[in-house]
Chains A and B, each alone.
Chain A
Amino acid sequence: MTIQEIQEEIIDEFSMFDDWMQRYEYMIELGKSLPLIEEQYKTDDNLIKGCQSKVWVHAELDGDKLVFTSDSDAIITKGIIAILIRAFSNQKPQDIIDADTAFIDEIGLKEHLSPTRANGLVSMVKQLKLYAVAYQTQLN
């Protein structure tokens, strides 16, 4: 599936819920399916700056596709990064670089998009894209 298709799938799933609590409960559920980062990669270098909770992200190439693994010490943050990784993992770096992130608004996480918001969703998206830029350079 393309990033666009996955994003539409996520939007569909979230549209089933009509209140915030169900959305958050679903997000917490998604957090449990997060592809976990290996312990050896849980280093300060892999920590995303700008988050009130700790978020580690690791990226590596599998053929021409970039695969992300991650973890967080906060459950809601884990859900948020799980959604992002579901949309961006196993994709070509250039597609990740070009991807739109408007779907985050549509699933009711808009308030997390504010740059001042402590969880730093913006920092997470930026970090995933930075990895993509780095690996794209390598592929070139």
Chain B
Amino acid sequence: MIQTTLDIATIRKDFPILNRKVNGQPLVYLDNAATSQTPQQVIDVIVDYYQGYNANIHRGVHSLSQEATDAYEIARKKIQEHFNIAKSQEVIFTSGTTHGINLVATGFTSFLKKGDEVVVSAMEHHSNIVPWQMLCERTGATLKVIPMNLEGELIMEEYHKLLSERTKLVFCNHVSNALGTINPIEEIIEAAHKVGAAVLIDGAQAAAHIKPNLQALDVDFYVVSAHKMCGPTGVGMLYGKEEWLKKLPPYQGGGEMIAEVTFEKTTYADLPHKFEAGTPNICGGIAFGAALDYLNNIGFEALTHYEDELVEYATQKLLSIDGLRIYGTAKRKTSVISFNIEGIHPYDIGTILDKLGIAVRTGHHCAQPIMDFYKIPGTVRASFSFYNTKEEVDKLVEGVKRAKSMLE
């Protein structure tokens, strides 16, 4: 029995897309870890922007520009409050998590040298591996990897052994996209700081489920994407401690990020504009703020409690299927279930589920090292949101059973 204070039927009415059919079947959307759906309240904000006050910001003298600037800066404040960030200039709008990581990785080029070490976890998304590999190639620094166990948890004793005075940077996801593991970032941050290393946490998968208190975490950088938390695609946040953001060089040159330009020398604008070259995704930023309002209105405690119950129910039901194995059985995890059925390729299962209107992700989930670790080509990943229902879980389970009988 799933108990919740949330009125799921009413919540579902906020998401117009949930009414559509796919392949003649009602959509069962279980690919929330890839992107979450957008509530009408956020869609309205996007429409209002283009219908009412679309203008370029921070530069116009006219009223529309002022209205758009105000709305964009209010969104920045909402993000600041949501993540409990000390100063609004520590909130940098980005195009998403990948942009934020690349901004920091590129900026660190001048701070690293041969012999320095950077530490990454074994369960990262490619976007939190490749930029750091590129950084190591540029600087001669060495990449070290925190190993994980079969349950999909980081082996923390090994992490502590990796740290030394050579360690300059540590990066890790808050939640693994492929396994759902919630990593012990408090311990990771504290230990890294003891050896003087900076820490970047990739919050892309966490932000829809956990409301992190960034001041309490004392993290140096934290990155998220709005589209994983009921906002639009193409916008995200990089949080950086002011001292770091002052030290890092600008990432891109252009308008908006300058104080004065002559052909001899350009001086850069203050934070946050130093990192926000060019016309930003204004509408996206404003809608990001609206998405946070929407989630906070429901309340993170209530939604994660419900998601936990849903994933627990789904886990039990799926495990009743013969030959089904779940990858990622960490004690602390979010609403992601990655699984395979013995002898059946995940792609085949995903194809049949799609025919039944059930959207899941199949493949390596941009985390090939994890798949190599388990020696599998990929998994089927069902990821749940607070607008999913027990009935949808039942449809998934029935769908998997049907796929199994067809494919065996």
Contact status A75-B344, CB under 8 Å:
yes
Which chain A residues lie closer than 8 Å to B407 at the CB level? 28, 75-76
Q: Which residues of chain B from 344 to 375 have a CB within 8 Å of any chain A CB?
A: 344-345, 347-348, 351-352, 355, 362-363
In residues 66-115 of chain A, which contact B (Cβ within 8 Å)?
Answer: 73-77
Check if B406 is an interface residue, CB within 8 A of chain A: yes
- State how many angstroms separate the Cβ of A32 from the closest Cβ of chain B: 12
Q: Which of A4-12, A18-26, A39-47, A126-134 is near enough to bind chain B?
A: A18-26
A28 and B406 contact, Cβ closer than 8 Å, known pairs A21-B355, A52-B362, A53-B377: yes
* 10 A-B pairs (CB sep. < 8 Å): A21-B406, A24-B351, A25-B406, A52-B347, A52-B378, A54-B377, A74-B345, A75-B344, A77-B345, A77-B348
Q: Does A136 contact B (CB under 8 A)?
A: no
- On whether A76 and B355 interact (CB within 8 A), knowing A28-B406, A52-B363, A118-B363, the answer reads no
Q: Is there contact, CB below 8 Å, between A24 and B355? A: yes
Whether B23 pairs with A76 at a CB distance below 8 angstroms is: no
A54 to B378, CA, bound (A): 11
CA distance A25 to B352 in the complex (A): 11
Verify B348–A76 contact, CB threshold 8 A: yes
Q: Which residue of A lies closest to B377 (CB)?
A: A73
Q: How far is B378's CA from A119's CA once the two chains are assembled, in angstroms?
A: 14
**Contacts of A76 on B, CB cut-off 8 Å?**
347-348, 351-352, 407
Give the complex CA separation of A32 and B406 in angstroms: 13
Q: How distant is the Cα of A77 from the Cα of B377 in the complex, in angstroms?
A: 14
CB nearest to B344 among chain A residues: A75
Min distance, Cβ B370 to any Cβ of chain A, angstroms: 16
- Closest Cβ of chain A to B233, distance in Å, is 16
New A-B pairs, 10, CB < 8 Å, besides A52-B362, A77-B347 = A21-B406, A24-B351, A24-B355, A25-B406, A53-B348, A74-B345, A77-B345, A77-B348, A118-B347, A119-B351
| Contact of A119 with B347 in the complex, beta carbons under 8 Å | yes
Measured in the bound complex, the distance between the Cα atoms of B362 and A75 in whole Å is 15
With A and B bound together, what is the CA distance between A75 and B355 in angstroms? 16
Contact present for A53 and B406 (CB under 8 Å): no
Chain B: number of interface residues, binned into ranges: 10 to 19
Interface residues of B (CB under 8 A from A): 23, 344-345, 347-348, 351-352, 355, 362-363, 377-378, 406-407
B352 partner residues in chain A, CB cutoff 8 A: 24, 76
Residue picked from B344, B347, B352, most chain A C-beta under 10 Å: B347
* A39 CA / B345 CA spacing, docked (Å): 19
Q: Decide if B345 touches A75 in the complex (CB within 8 Å).
A: yes
Hey, which chain A residues are within 8 Å of B345, CB to CB?
Answer: 53, 73-75, 77
In the complex with contacts A52-B378, A118-B363, A20-B23 CB distance below 8 A: yes
Q: Which residues of A contact B362 (CB under 8 A)?
A: 52, 118
Q: How far is the CB of B201 from chain A (nearest CB, A)?
A: 30
Distance in angstroms between the alpha carbons of A118 and B363 in the assembled complex = 9
Q: How far is the CA of A52 from the CA of B371 in the complex (A)?
A: 13
- Please give the distance in Å from B403's CB to the nearest CB on chain A: 10
A-side contacts of B377, CB under 8 Å: 53-54, 73
The answer on a CB contact under 8 Å between B347 and A20 is no
Q: Could you tell me the distance between the alpha carbons of A14 and B345 in the complex, rounded to whole angstroms?
A: 24
Nearest-Cβ distance from residue B372 to partner chain A, whole angstroms: 15
- Please, how many angstroms separate the alpha-carbon atoms of A24 and B355 in the complex? 10
Q: Are A74 and B406 in contact (CB under 8 A)?
A: no
Bound Cα distance from A21 to B353, whole angstroms: 11
5 closest A-B pairs by beta carbon, nearest first, are A74-B345, A53-B347, A74-B347, A52-B347, A76-B348
Q: Which residues of B contact A24 (CB under 8 A)?
A: 351-352, 355, 406
